[in-house]
Each structure stands twice: as C-alpha cells, then as structure tokens.
Chain A
C-alpha cells in the first residue's frame, strides 16, 4: 500500500523547493529528489573557473514572488540582495549610451518627446504587467468547465482588465498579443532606446521584435516586483544559488527531506495511478503523489512514458515549442572591463547591447534558419562589482545572455561553439575594447549545454516558449494547466506551467495548492 501522505518532488529547482515547503508546511511527508549534486536547478551559482563564481543560468532576479518570500521567511534564512534597483545601460559604440531606471531615461540625444513618452510607456507597461503579476498566484481557470472556482477566476481576470479603465483597457487589449517593434516605433524616436527596450520582448524567447507575442514576453518579464517596485531587477548576494539555498533551508525547516545526486529514472504506476518513483540506481521511493519540477516533455516522455497517457494529450505535449535560442556566456576577467563612455560605477548595472530594432531583428533572422546571429544581442551583468565573493580581489566575472543561439543549429554546436564565442567577443570588444586582454577564462553554454546541464528539454529556460498560446490555461497544454496531470497522483510544478519561467516560485506554490485541494 502506498503511503498516501508521502509526496515525492522530482527536481529541486526553485519551484520544486517552493512546492516542497508549502506541502511540508501543510503536514505532508515530502521528499525532494534532485539529480544534480546541488539544489536549485537553473537557479544556481557555480564556479566556472578557479575562484570565479557566477549564476549559471538565470542571472537577474526580477520575478521572485513577494508573498512566497514572506511566507517562507527567506530573508531570515539568509537571502539578501546586494542590489535591488539595477539601472539599464544601453551601450553605444561611440560611448553615447543611454540609461534608465524606473521612469527616467537619460543620455545623449534623447529628445524631450522621448523622455515624456518614456514616462507614459513605463506607466502603462507597469500597469499591464502588474495585471499579469496578479495572476501569478492563481491556478488558471479551465475554460468551459462550468466549475464554480474556474468561473470566479475567469471573472476576476475579466474584472481586472475592465478596471484598467476605458483607455488603458483598450490599449492593453490592443497590444497584449502584438509585436514590440510596432509599439516602440510608434512611441519613440531614438534608435538605441528602441533597440534596447525591444530586448525585454525577445530575451529568452523564439521571437524577434517584429514577432507577435513579444509585447506579452516583455510584460511577463516585468510582471514581478522587487521591493514593491514593478519590473525592477535585483542581484542576490552570492548569486542565484543563494535563492536556492534559502529555499532549500525553508523546505528543510518545514520538514521536507532533500536528496541530491539521485536522478529519477522513471515514475512508477499502479494501474491508473502513481505509486512513486524509481531512481537511476534502482531504488524505489513509494509515494501517493508525485510532483514533477521537470519540464513537461521530460516528465511525460522520459519519466512517465507516452503510452501511459492518452494520445491527444500526448500530441499536445509533443507539439510544445520547447527549443531555446538563448545562450549563456561567462567570462572570468582580470579586471573591471572598460565600456566606452560608461563610468566604472555604472558597469555593475544591467548592460545591454541592442543598438537598434533592425539590428535585433537581423540577429533573430539568422536563428529562423538554424544559424547563430552574426551580430548577437546581449544582456550583460557584472555581479562582482556588487558582490566581492564571486571573484578574486580586483578581478571580475561577466555574465551575459546571448541571442540568438538556436538549439537546433545547422551542423550542431560541436563545430560552431568556438566561432560563435569569437563572434560574441568581437561584438563585446567594440564596446569594451580591452576585454580580450582581460580574459582569463570563458564559458559558453548553448541551449544544448543548458539541456544537458539543467535537464531542460530543448534548453529553453522557460521550460517551453512563453507565448499567449502557451500561457495561462493553455500552459503547458489544456488538460494539465491546473498542475494536475491527467493521471491520478501526478502533478507538474515547473516553469512549464503557469506562470512560466524566471526565478519566481509561483508555479511551485500553485502546484502545492492544487495538490492540497485535489484531495
């Protein structure tokens, strides 16, 4: 007889840990089983060169859910931010960069009209993203189910949209599904401002600025709050791994057991319900409920097996857009890089290379045909400016998200990694001419590496493209969007579910809610 109070969580990613905490708090006997040697999944700090540590995947914290932090007491467990209001600096080769923080943009050549437009742009985007943010902690409603709580949730969403007021509601409905290129073109004049802002709409996606859904992606990115400020960016002390450590401490405190270095080989069934999991070493852990922090394809195809669910559902899972296009670059540097025109104290902000909209769209164009961008776009963070624990004294680490690096590159990444790395360094050198001389060590994680290292099918950090057709009650697919898989006792809690990727924790918490209400 399976222990019905026992819950096994596959994967100690941040969502798995959050889910574990809430379930343990509710009195469940929770065991979290992680394949890697450390907890955190894609929220980890790793030493990629002797003495140099970096957030290995996610590198800026913008979505970590406030209520979750408070519920779990993450601050008292040692989670601290070294910086909570990172500004964005849009780099220019000639040194005439722009920067903004909150609603104020400054820099050479920004007209008064652009300044005013920027205030209004941020106001609206903040409002709309806050609307999405309010949905984070809701189990998405089923459409056409006729269930009371589903109807209430749907009505709340409709009411929230209506409450925007006539003007803003109209604007929200106009832009939510379209592309950020059009929005930026109709709002601003400054090419660099437009280019750099478009990055928010394409980062971590399969989209170019002209692709529909890029506004939605930007809104999702801004949908969290840091210190009560909508869409702010923060750096955790000690890198992203410290978020995972605090979450792990919280889970342990609530009574959950964490096991690392134990890959789950498969989910065990007893007829039509879950019985537990089998580990790679053959050990079986019995449980009445299994919650998977893995992505949907890993969960259903690798761990469960397609044959154990119905074919229509499996077809939807098969057709998920799971291929990542974002690479992660880590550089160990002998000194602080000197970006032309950027003051040393500004170097610790979020630096962006996306000089104009056409440049970004061109970068994307390559990826459509299985090529990497000849001129990639970058989001750069040098966390060692704020956090001396990450690099030896006087030296620095640079962490960058680089696009576009398609998962399914023609000819594979084996032969192209070095040439792509060289292209990235060439682009970086234009903005920081001495960076090659400072280079001690470099690491480039392509989506294929991300897939292997973090066990994410397709290496997509959202566990599947985040777009309107794969969001809310459609995420990952109808039939599993309320966290319960169509198999008794199996739940999902990863970024593949609503509300998606980013170090947020809401999917984990909502999954726990679903588990607890499912009985």
Chain B
C-alpha cells in the first residue's frame, strides 16, 4: 500500500489471502473497503452454525483502524465520542458512537485503549477527515493504520480452547472487552476479547508479515475444535441475532446523508446508554440535550415476528395499519428459533411488548406472496449466552 502506484490497484488481497482463497470453494468474493472479502467460503449455513456451535474465523483486516496517540488523546476522544472515554482504561475496549454537532450519529465503533494514552479506533466507515477536523486545538496524532494491521475474528464457544491450545497463556482469564499482548514470531500479537457475534470470541491483531503463520497455527490448533472460516454473509446473521448495528444498513452515517432527516441520534438507535451528558463538552451534546428535552423522533427496536418469512426491508404498521417505520435488518434465527428483525419506528412507538404488523413480501417458486405478520417489540437480544460474559472463559 505504500507504493506511490497504489491507486492503480482498486481492491487488494488481505494478508491472509493465500490461505483464505484456498478455503474459498465458492469463490464468492466481494469487496469490503479496499480488500477482497469472501461472502461465503463453502456454505453460509454451515459457517453460521460453526460460529454458534464451534469456532468461526473471520478476516477483518479491512475494518477501518485509526491509531490515536499524544498527550491530548483522552481529552480529544472525550470531545469526539458521546461516552466518557476516561472509563475505557488501558488494556480495555469500549463500544462507542460519535456524532456531528447536530447530535446525529456519524458511526459506531470500538475504542481500544492499547496502552496508556495509545488508542485504536475501529469503525465500518472511513473518518479521517472528521477525525482530523476534531484534532484542531489538541496535541494529538492520528494515523490510519488499516493497512498495517492484519486482523482475524475468532468467534464461538470453542474459541478460547483453540487460542489456549495455540499457546496464548492465560487467555481464559481475559475479561470481556479486555486486551492482552503476546510475543509472537518476532512481532506482537494483540488479542482482545471482542467481536461482532454476541458470543464468546476474540479478535487477533498482528503485523501483516506474520499473518499467514498466524492463520496456519490457528487452524492447526482448531482442527479438533471445529474451526471454520466464515464469510460476510454468515457474520451478518450472527450480528443481527446479537442485536448489533451495521452502519449504512441500520443507520445512515450522518456525514453521508444528503437528507438530514434520514440520520439518527444515539437515542434514536437505542444507544442512549453510550451518551454521557454530564461531560462538559462533546460533539452533539447541545443538540442531544435539546433532544432529551423535546423527545426523540424515532426509536430503534428488536422485533419478534410470527411465521418464518424473513421481513427484509418491510414496512411496519400499527394494528390499525398506520405505517410507522421499517425493518433495517431481518432473518430467520436458527438459534433463537424465531423470525427476528431490527427496525426503526416513529416515536413513541417501540415500547417493549407493543404489538405491531410487518408487511412481508416473499417468493415461492417465482410467485410473490404477501403477509401482514403480527409481531412484538422485544427488549433483549435474541442471542446472548452466559459464556459471553464468563471469566475464566469456559472450555468446550
């Protein structure tokens, strides 16, 4: 990537490509940011079940990563993010969102406090311009290191056992949202107990030069624990079950919006718990205080829908058939045995227990059918196993 000719290549293989392309029997490649990324390796369902019942490995190198350092890193992050960044201690990871001045969410992401005053911010979208804008007046350095770090998500019930077998001593004692550093083949391997699946799982961060050996050792160690590569399609299923949002799908990043009313505040995405209005200043604070006073325009909810037809992109109605919102993500959840969806509703709709209707179109042998399926607003994630929070992490 450092070559001046970089612009001639549009899509890059990730540092794991030599391994993933061998396993990618379907050759279903997609593009994720700058990188080739498999939609699926051999079967979406099997990959999904590996994540839920054994261990699935997802190449997340393409995730946008920024390194934030300098004496003012903490005050900088405190102004950038809606949450209290001081609560993300060294060696910890925090989920976060950031807003524009109007209090609308630009993106969500994870903040890694790698070492004292040394942070990494990961997100779906790119934000260098905004991060640099926010840096004015702070003694802080911002460096995009997306291409300098190879990353794998190792997710599922057997993930801890596999990493232990790989030689990562004490990994079972790493708490959720904790970070460990390991010496590994002349480089440093950083392991965080984080993920996008809502299950026990880890993310491995390493210099690209060691990417291939890491993959090999990981798959060796996991050979008896059902380790399986997973593509983007299966990942999308597990994240919906876990109730995790995806920028550009469940909300429109505020800096990409042409129609400003299409953007959402953290409260309107069910992320009010990430907003700390007691901080004296952060981007969007004044607007969010005003929103608290006036009330939000939207709610973001989980729906449990009757039947088994996934409610992709469906309109949502009251029982009296007044349109009040739409589904942003939907699936039949094999683990929860439920027809589930994430949805944006007009406030004040969306209180847990509210009964609504979802208009579902589906096709059977090229014939379109429509059902108005009853559904309920539910509070808890559809998939939330205790092992996700257990320390030491259980062996399977």
Contact = CB atoms under 8 A, between A and B. Distances in A.
B101 A311 contact: yes
Contacts of A306: 136-138
A317 to B, nearest CB: 9
Contacts of B285: 272, 310
Contact of A311 (B72, B75, B283, B286): B283
Interface residues on A, range: 10 to 19
Nearest to A306: B137
Interface majority SS on B: helix, strand, loop or mixed? Answer: loop
A314 B285 CA distance: 14
Contacts of A315: 133, 136
B340 to A, nearest CB: 36
Interface in B237-291: 280-286
A311 B106 CA distance: 13
B353 to A, nearest CB: 35
A301 interface: yes
B100 interface: yes
Contact of A272 (B76, B79, B133, B281): B281
A314 B137 contact: yes
B130 interface: yes
A308 interface: yes
B132 to A, nearest CB: 10
A164 interface: no
A310 B137 contact: no
B371 interface: no
Nearest to B137: A306
B134 interface: yes
A479 B287 CA distance: 12
Contact of A310 (B76, B138, B284): B284
B136 A310 contact: no
Given A307-B79, A307-B138, A310-B286, A269 B280 contact: yes
A67 interface: no
A306 B283 CA distance: 12
Contacts of A313: 101
Interface string B31-49: 0000000000000000000
A311 B280 contact: no
B75 A307 contact: yes
Interface in A302-354: 305-315, 318
A60 B326 CA distance: 64
A416 B284 CA distance: 46
Nearest to A305: B137
A309 B75 CA distance: 12
Interface in B48-84: 72, 75-76, 79-80
B249 to A, nearest CB: 25
A310 B283 contact: yes
A311 B281 contact: no
B297 to A, nearest CB: 15
A313 B280 CA distance: 16
Given A312-B100, A312-B101, A301 B280 contact: no
Nearest to B80: A311
B283 A307 contact: no
A318 B136 contact: yes
Interface string A465-497: 000000000000001000000100000000000
A50 interface: no
A311 B130 contact: yes
A271 B136 CA distance: 20
Interface string B81-120: 0000000000000000000111000000000000000000
Contacts of B79: 307, 310-311
A20 B133 CA distance: 35
Contacts of B72: 307
| Max count, chain A CB within 10 A of own CB: residue among B130, B134, B282, B285 | B134
Contacts of A479: 101
A178 to B, nearest CB: 29
B133 A310 contact: no
A309 B281 CA distance: 7
Contacts of B286: 310, 486
Given A310-B101, A311-B79, A314-B136, A271 B283 contact: no
Contacts of B283: 310-312
Interface string B124-165: 000000100110111000000000000000000000000000
Contacts of B282: 310
B68 to A, nearest CB: 14
B130 A308 contact: no
A190 to B, nearest CB: 50
A309 B136 CA distance: 11
A65 B136 CA distance: 38
Interface in A128-165: none
B205 to A, nearest CB: 28
Nearest 7 A/B pairs, CB to CB: A306-B137, A312-B101, A311-B134, A310-B101, A271-B280, A272-B280, A310-B283
Given A306-B137, A311-B134, 17 more contacts: A271-B280, A301-B137, A306-B136, A306-B138, A307-B72, A307-B75, A307-B137, A307-B138, A307-B281, A310-B283, A310-B285, A310-B286, A311-B101, A312-B102, A312-B133, A312-B283, A314-B136
27 contacts: A272-B280, A301-B137, A306-B136, A306-B138, A307-B72, A307-B75, A307-B76, A307-B138, A307-B281, A308-B280, A308-B281, A310-B79, A310-B101, A310-B283, A311-B79, A311-B80, A311-B101, A311-B130, A311-B133, A312-B100, A312-B102, A312-B283, A314-B133, A315-B133, A318-B136, A479-B101, A486-B286
